[in-house]
Amino acid sequence: MSSKDQLLFTYGTLRYADVQLDTFGRLVDGDDDELVGFVLGDAPIDDPRVVELSGSALHTIAIATGDDTDRIPGTVLRISEDELASADDYEVAIYRRVQVPLASGRTAWTYVSA
């Protein structure tokens, strides 16, 4: 991993091939990991572009619990700073990007409930 690479933990639509191709311009390999201290909730999406691209008007959203036994499985993607900015553009306003510790001990960006 170069110093410019960013780690992005994704548990939802950013794992989909069509979403990755549109957002990053390529498919991104990743590693399995878990987000600790969060549970999944439902997030209604009203952005027509995001709904069309993902195929769903209901996405998942990470909600902090602070309980280390709560975990969300997902994938860690290695992306560039520009690709991270593209992911920010893809995510709607109900999400905010934060850095979080993962079960593996790594720290990554992810999107959680705003």
Question: How many structural domains are present in the chain?
Answer: 1
**One digit per residue, pLDDT tens: the chain, 114 residues?**
555 799 999 999 999 999 999 999 999 989 999 999 999 999 888 889 899 989 999 888 999 999 999 999 999 999 999 999 999 999 888 899 999 999 999 999 999 998
Q: Indicate the pTM of the whole model.
A: 0.88
Q: How far is Cα 84 from Cα 7, in angstroms, rounded to an integer?
A: 9
- In a domain, residue 100? The reply is yes
The dihedral over CA atoms of 72, 73, 78, 81, expressed in degrees to the nearest 10, equals: -20
Q: Is residue 30 included in any domain, yes or no?
A: yes
In a domain, 43, yes or no: yes
3 state SS of 1: coil
Q: What is the CATH number of the domain that holds 59?
A: 3.10.490.10
Structure token pair of residue 108: 């990554």
CA distances from 27 to 17, 24, 30, 37, 58 (A): 6, 7, 10, 28, 23
Residue 37 within a domain? yes
